[in-house]
Structure 1
Amino acid sequence: MQTPTSANSVPWLTKHEDAAWRSFLALSRGMERAIDRQLQRDSELSSSEYHVLVPLSESQDGSLPSRELLRHLDWERSRLSHMLSRMEKRGMVCRKPSPQDARGLIVEITEHGRQVINGAAPSHLTMVREAFMDNLSTDEMQALVNMADKVIPRLENMNLI
């Protein structure tokens, strides 16, 4: 059984580490809010709906097993189920029984869903480029990729994601 770390033994962040951590959080949260607002304003999509449509639209036949979609999104099953119900009501996706897995479902993008994602993507990517990518040098972009390549496996090994 793990015992709580005492306040005296906590490896507190240095001033430099704290600034980096807080900057990362502000950047991450700011980009998430900006993406949510831009998608809602320009396409009446939530960022969650957009995130569901992207892997479906990029798949070879416009469909994915729900388990694979869960892996793409890293969501809980109940969250995906609720989102797919909402999106089905809006005519963007449909669910069908899986021919390979009696308990599984195939999620398929509809023609309306394709129109929605095709309409949303240009302004979304323009915002991402203007707000984020255009402000970074090639070296800074690579540094970001390098950081993610180090941190994400660590989170996975710690069973945190």
Structure 2
Amino acid sequence: MPTPLSSAEERLWRSLQRVLVALPRALHEDLLRSTGLSLSQYLVLMNLSEADGNRMRMTDLALATGLSASRITRLVEALRTQGLVVKRTPSTDARGSVAVLTEAGRQRLLGACPAHLASARRRVMDQLDPALVQRLAGELQAVADPLVFRCRRAGPDRTL
């Protein structure tokens, strides 16, 4: 039988669950209203901008954004029709596709970045004690890193 949560642990756990549901919705609404980009579109453009050569395999992009393979395919196709990304078949492995950020996509991301940062600051950072931010970042990273590793390890084209 697992050890029951203390009242402080229970409060943290319930608050974390509410944040995990409500925060993405709020960030999405803020971004969509101010830039016309959805949070998922923003995350795709951001991940591509940070990737080597501004390109990622579709499977890796799905993992990085937390989206399903079918959802990332539809999303990249929508971004492609807007000229923000292109899709290519890699010369080394024709089994998958690669999404590549275009210059128009980079400009759209740069234009949306201030609105996204303002939303993140207002909704999260301004609510936290500045003295705790660094420690909280480390604590949450300690929780997130093993989860991300496990997800990536389970990916179909991952070799570790």
For 2:81, the equivalent position in structure 1 comes to 89
Identify the residue that residue 61 of structure 2 maps to in structure 1: 69
Residue 153 to residue 124, structure 1, CA distance change in 2 (3 Å): closer
Distance 1:27 1:76, change over 3 A: closer
Unmatched 5+ stretches in structure 2: 155-160
State the match for 2:26 in structure 1. Answer: 34
Q: Name the structure 2 match of 1:129.
A: 121
How far the C-alpha of 1:152 sits from its partner, in A, is 2.5
1:111 aligned residue: 103
Q: Spell out, residue by residue over 1:13-55, the C-alpha distance to the aligned partner (whole angstroms, 9 max, x if none).
A: 3332221111112233332122011111011111111110001
Give percent identity, aligned residues only. Answer: 30
Superposition deviation, residue 138 in structure 1: 4.2
The DSSP-based 3-state class of the residue aligned with 1:103 is: coil
Alpha-carbon distance, 1:153 to partner: 4.4
Number of residue pairs aligned between Structure 1 and Structure 2: 153
Structure showing greater radius of gyration is 1
Q: Deviations for 1:126-145, whole angstroms, at most 9, x for unmatched residues?
A: 22123322333444212322
User: Pairwise CA RMSD of aligned residues?
Assistant: 2.6
Q: What TM-score, normalized to structure 2?
A: 0.79
Q: Which amino acid aligns with 1:58?
A: E
Counterpart of 2:144? 152
Structure 1 gaps, min length 5: 1-8
For residue 61 of structure 1, give the secondary structure of its aligned residue in structure 2: helix
From the superposition, tell whether residues 28 and 67 of structure 1 become closer, same or farther in structure 2 (CA, over 3 Å).
Answer: closer
User: Is 2:14 the partner of 1:14?
Assistant: no
User: Does the Cα contact within 8 Å between 2:79 and 2:85 map onto a contact in 1?
Assistant: yes
